[in-house]
Structures are given as C-alpha cells and as structure tokens.
Amino acid sequence: MNVNGASSRVLPKGLAPRDFENALQKFAVAIGDEWVISSENELKNYRDPFAFASADPREFAPSAAVKPASVEEVRSIVRIANELKVPLWVISRGKNLGYGGAAPRVAGSVTIDLGRMNRILEVNEELCYAVVEPGVTFFDLYEHIQGRKLKLWISVPALGWGSVVGNALDRGVGYTPYGEHSENICGMEVVLPDGGLIRTGMGALSHGKTWHSFKPGYGPSVDGLFMQSNFGIVTKAGIWLMPQPDFFVACDLHFERESDLERIVDITGELRREDIVQNTAVLSNAVRLISRLGARDAWFAGGGAAPESAVQAKLQEMGLGAWNLRFAIYGAEELAEARLKIAKRAYGAVAGARFESKKWDVRAHGAEEFTAAIGSESVQAGVPSLFALEVLKYRGEDGGHIGFSPILAPSGKEAVKLANLAGRLCREHGFDYYGGFSFGFRHLWSVMMILYDKKSDEHRAQADRLFRRLVKEAGELGFAEYRAHVEYMDLVGDPYDFNGHALRRFTETLKDAVDPGGILAPGKQGIWPKRMRENGGQTQ
C-alpha cells in the first residue's frame, strides 16, 4: 500500500478521512497490503481513459482500488465497506470503453478490481459451456480453448481485451449466433452487498450437475438483477459456447443508395427471425467503414463535418456502398448453402445490391491458420482482436469516443427515422455521422459513435452537447438507450418514466433491501441507494 498523494485524493462525499484510512488498513489486512492501490499514479488506470466531457476530471475518479484474489476476499471487502460506509465500484477488466472504462460513477469510490480472479474453472466440450471468473478476458478464453484444441467457439465483442463475464453482465454484444452475451450466461455465483453469497438457478443445489445447463431454476429467477446493476458482485458465471461449425461463410453486401436503408432493415429483420441470418448482422454507413482507416486528415483536412462530396469520393475509392451489411452463415455445408441461396434471393430485391461471400471448411484448417486467413472478419468467427481501436484516431491522434446506443424495433421505418435524426444532429454539431445498426434476434442496437479530439476542450464540449441533443430528440421519437457512460447514467434513465418512473422506484426498493448500507456502486444505471437519494448527496 502506498498512501502517497493522499492530499489530492478524491474522497467520497461525507466520508471522514480517518474512516477512509481505517478502511484502507482493514482492506490491507483482509487481502494483503500489496493489493490495496492508493497512489495517484497507479490510480490513473482506474479512471476513464477517454476522460469524457466533465470539466473536472476528478468527478469520476476513485479514491483507491483493491484487488482481491478470491470470493472470500471479495466478501471481506464488502463487509468492511459496509462497516465504514465506503462506496464501492466494481470492474472486471475495466475495458468498458465508450461507457466510462474503469471509472466509477461516484467520485472517491473504492474500486474493486477483479482482474486477479482470472481462472477458467471449467470448459465442458460435450455440453458446450465454460465457467469463468470475471478476470478472464476473451483472449484468455480463446487461447485456452485453442490450446486444448476443443471444438468450441466463443463470441467476442469488437475488442477482445475485456472480461467475458463483465461484458455479458453489461449486456455487451458479439458477432456470432451467440452474440447477445447476456442471454448466454447460465448460472452465477454472486457476493451480495452485505457479504452474503448465493448461487443462482440450479447452482443452489449443492450436489447438482445442471447449474450451467438450465437458467431459471425453481421459483423466481434473480439473474437479471445482477446485469447492469449494483445488486451484487458476480464472482463466477457459466457461459454457453457454440459448437464449432463445419462451415463458415462470410457475407458482405454493399448497397448503393442511402434510401435503401428501409428495405435492408426490413429484409434483414425478417431473415433474422427466420434464422437465415443467424448472427448479429452489422449494417454500417460509409463513415463508419472509412473511419477504420484511421485519421480523417488523410483525406479531409478541415474541421467540422466532412463535406458529402469528400465522403463520396472516399467511398468510391474504397468500393463501398452507402450502406454495407456484414453477416455470416454457420453450420453443415448443405444448410449453409441453403441459407446462402435464400439470403441472396432476398437481397436480390434491392436494386444494385452487391453480394459477396466466402466459404471456409473450418475442419480443414488449424485454428491459427483459419484466424490468419479470415483476417478482419475474425469477430464473426469468435476470434478476439483489437482491430476496432483504429477508429479512435479518426479525429485526433489521441481520440475519444462516446457510444450512443438506442434500441429499435427491427423495422425499416424506425431505422430511417433514427438515421435521419442522427445524421442531421451530427452535421449540426460538426461531426460526421458514424452510424449503423446491429441486428439482434428481435431488435436493433443502433450503433453510433461520436469520435472527438480529446486534446480539444471545445471539441469535447461539442461532443457532449451532441450527445445530450441525441438523447433528448431521439427520446421524443421513442428511442432510448440500453447502456450509458457513467456521466450519462441518470440522463439515459430518465425517459424510462412510465407511471412516474415506477420501474426505477421498484428497483430502488429492491436496492435498499439488498444493500441497506448503500455501498455497492451507487448510481450505476441511475439506481441510487436510499442514503444518496434522500440526502441529495451525490445525485439530483
């Protein structure tokens, strides 16, 4: 433990410095001195690497971090925090980029970093699941499976350095048929805010073998309570994996006209419901794909939004369409061929659509060879990568980004409504509209990034203004986000207002019951414990 820099430390509001020091000492006794981090230098890792729009960078800074190695250590930390009323924040790998990274909602929180709890406890090839601790990254799990030559595929988000469990709990998205990650959690172990320990679903059977086979269990199921939440700390979870398919067909479609959007969404929505398109299909506009090349300066040196003519020229050069759809087909060869034929027929109805596909016999390749060969298509095959980081250079070498992610019904008309609004607001605020849609089974995630130059205060403030306008005006059209940056967690929750925010009041009731001390991740997703609601301490 290094208590240097204590003078400039951000303590939680209302906590006496003496109590804080006392807590650090108790943490050190519980988990070992070297795993309590309190030097200002080391604590930088526990802030938002994109230091978003706040004028005061200390607003989302922790006071300390603790790194437990076991469930029992997590329980000890929670008990100490309750005793001394120390707000906690929990990260698995802290890579929730665009949503705050490792940064806590409440300044001065002690961050529990679960990175040392990184054991892969089981990979069951027969029944196709893994049981992992929250510190396990997508790279870790992928390499473990490859190392053992198991015939299993994982599902990975755009960046593979994050936590398998943490990503799923925050309802992250991947690009295989198992891409709705929260849907593929089966069975959790959870440390409760009072230090209690539960296993959900069939995990409550001490001698059962079905913990990771059947999600619901007996009686009400509580798993949903631990997603995007501050109701408990998940210390292990079962994750369903996909049996390795015999064939993999990568499909790329390019559509000529912006006005094709409505048809594309309607067709893809239908193909998703019919399980012809099996995975999270991704539809991207031109700017989204162009931004992968890196700095925009290379083709447009001005400020503000790039003129349409410049975007068009770049788009022509790259051979892209106004909209570009990527999905894949998985499985036995006869099935893959049948799906491909049906998909080609369906998109053939859009004039000028170009359909490219590339088929791989997965069995014929070693994993490494396959990975190398498919290159940037890799996320659709569950191969983790960091390719997506390139886009951050689009507006400045040290670029920031903020995700705007409302949910849509898979309806062309709805997509057009949102794209028109987003395009207009981006231009008005001097940003290029980086836009697209990811297709869940029954919904769309709108994917939109505001890419800005972190070095420019004005640019950052402008990104903030754009984001707030988007929330407001999209909200008026009925669109709301499923996820939010720590800075916007209250804002994004506000439109969920049926019957005077009855759902939020209900979750607050639950929060107070399971966390009477109000110590665990106060304010996460807009849920505040009683002591902070009434005092107006941190919120409102």
Q: How far is the CB of 168 from a second copy (least distance, A)?
A: 12
Contact status, residue 259 vs residue 216, Cβ threshold 8 Å? no
Residue 11: closest CA among 79, 109, 90: 109
Q: Which is nearer to a second copy, 221 or 316 (CB)?
A: 221
Q: Which is nearer to a second copy, 45 or 124 (CB)?
A: 124
Q: How far is the CB of 521 from a second copy (least distance, A)?
A: 11
Residue 521: closest CA among 234, 239, 203, 196: 234
Q: How far is the CB of 334 from a second copy (least distance, A)?
A: 4
Q: Which is nearer to a second copy, 300 or 404 (CB)?
A: 404
Does residue 394 have an active-site annotation?
A: no
> Which two three-digit tokens encode residue 85?
């009323």
DSSP 11: P
Q: Which is nearer to a second copy, 153 or 370 (CB)?
A: 153
Q: How far is the CB of 73 from a second copy (least distance, A)?
A: 17
Catalytic residue chosen out of the listed positions 75, 263, 288, 483 = 483
Q: CA distances (Å), 182 to each of 33, 164, 178, 222, 223, in order?
A: 35, 10, 10, 13, 10
Q: Is residue 129 classed as helix, strand or coil in its secondary structure? A: strand
Contact status, residue 35 vs residue 468, Cβ threshold 8 Å? no
- Sorted by sequence, the CB contacts under 8 Å of residue 133 that are 6+ apart come out as 114, 117, 118, 119, 120, 121, 165, 235, 236
Contact status, residue 241 vs residue 154, Cβ threshold 8 Å? yes
In angstroms, the CA 89 to CA 20 distance is 15
Contact status, residue 444 vs residue 415, Cβ threshold 8 Å? yes
Q: Quickly count helices (H) and strands (E) in the chain.
A: 15, 19
Q: How far is the CB of 499 from a second copy (least distance, A)?
A: 5
Using CA atoms in the order 186, 191, 192, 198, what is the torsion angle rounded to 10 degrees?
50
Q: Which is nearer to a second copy, 387 or 496 (CB)?
A: 496
CA 381 to chain centre: 19
Can you point out the beta strands (E) in 224-288?
Answer: 233-240, 242-243, 247-255, 281-285
Q: Which is nearer to a second copy, 181 or 459 (CB)?
A: 181
In angstroms, the CA 126 to CA 132 distance is 17
Q: How far is the CB of 26 from a second copy (least distance, A)?
A: 24
Q: Which is nearer to a second copy, 381 or 514 (CB)?
A: 514
In angstroms, the CA 474 to CA 45 distance is 34
Q: Which residues pair with 237 in a beta bridge?
A: 132, 188
> Which two three-digit tokens encode residue 184?
């593929």
Q: Which is nearer to a second copy, 171 or 465 (CB)?
A: 171
Q: How far is the CB of 68 from a second copy (least distance, A)?
A: 18
Q: How far is the CB of 439 from a second copy (least distance, A)?
A: 12
Catalytic residue chosen out of the listed positions 99, 142, 433, 434 = 99
Q: Which is nearer to a second copy, 55 or 349 (CB)?
A: 349
Catalytic residue chosen out of the listed positions 116, 171, 292, 482 = 482
Q: How far is the CB of 117 from a second copy (least distance, A)?
A: 18
In angstroms, the CA 221 to CA 50 distance is 36
Does residue 482 have an active-site annotation?
A: yes
Residue 226: closest CA among 203, 251, 200: 200
H, E, C per residue of 333-348: HHHHHHHHHHHHHHHC
Query: What residues are annotated to the active site?
Result: 99, 482-483
